[in-house]
Amino acid sequence: YARYDIAIPPVREVGSIKWPSRPEKADVSTDFLTTAQVLHPTDRAFRDDLRRSLAKTDGSAVIFVHGFNNTFSEGLYRFAQLTHDLQIQETPVHYSWPSIAEPLGYVADRDSSLFARDGLEQLIRDVSAAGARRIVLVAHSMGGHLTMEALRQIALRGDRSLMNKVDGVVLISPDIDVDVFRMTAKTIGDLPEPFIIFGSPRDGVLRLSSFITGQQGRLGSLEDVAKLADLDVTYLDVGAFRDGTGHFTAGTSPGLIRVLGRIEDVNAAFRGDVGARTGLL
């Protein structure tokens, strides 16, 4: 348990993270830097700190779950970048599960993500115990599989009070088999609303995942969204905004980030006609 303060350089491209070329040459005006850290010795100390942070907002928290092949600092800085670029006002909480951060470590990372599901469930409970009224889960890649597993555990425990605190789920390029996702969603029952999935059939990383696992049809690279038609989810194909491998477009594409930053304006356009609501928010 810890708290980190991250400085973000004032001039940079939206969606980008600027790493120092060398640690001794780090410059707060041009690089992402950690400016302060507090290591909490107990979960109670963490909850007390989090309670103070929640009191400064409307009592809402966003928990970010990173994906495959991520170091601790990569996940931390990526969430700081997302929070800044999307102008997230809720209290940001980063859940770091033990990825070995190696491109060839896919199987090890998948085992680690399953190992970490109890920890994510406990973090959700900690955030709730700290006084959060609403919790939104945002997960990338393999973190989407981990998030679904944690929600499944909460549902199987019959803990509706905690499940009701989860006020939305966003899966970005989720690396999970479609049939596994469907079965998990059915086990959970009533999914948190909204439940949004960002995906693209042009996702190069998920194509590789399909090859490694021998499973076709990853949730984040669907070509036929009819497979989800009976579930209360919103699937957004962001392939037109593809950037690099297309595996984190929702967080790295400047154009898409600008669209998401004004999504409330889009939602307002549908409010006059209830029948035309997209359910996006």
pLDDT in the model for residue 106:
83
Q: 218-235 pLDDT, tens per residue?
A: 887 888 888 899 999 988
Q: What SS3 class is residue 267?
A: helix
Q: 149-182 pLDDT, tens per residue?
A: 999 999 999 999 999 999 889 898 888 989 999 9
| Residue 201 vs residue 32, higher pLDDT | 32
Of residues 136, 162, 146, 172, the one with CA closest to residue 63:
136
Q: Whole-angstrom Cα distance, residue 14 to residue 253?
A: 8
pLDDT in the model for residue 253:
60
Question: Going by DSSP bridges, is the β-strand pair 33-39/91-95 parallel, antiparallel, or unpaired?
Answer: unpaired
pLDDT in the model for residue 211:
60
Beta bridge partners, 236, equal 198
pLDDT in the model for residue 131:
96
pLDDT in the model for residue 273:
47
Q: 174-221 pLDDT, tens per residue?
A: 889 899 999 999 999 999 988 888 888 776 666 666 566 656 668 878
pLDDT, mean of residues 31-53? 96
Phi/psi zone of residue 78: left (φ > 0), alpha (ψ -120 to 50 degrees), beta?
Answer: alpha
User: Tokens at residue 107, please?
Assistant: 């199987």
- What is the torsional sign of CA 129, 130, 133, 138? negative
pLDDT, mean of residues 252-264? 58
What's the DSSP call for residue 86? Answer: T
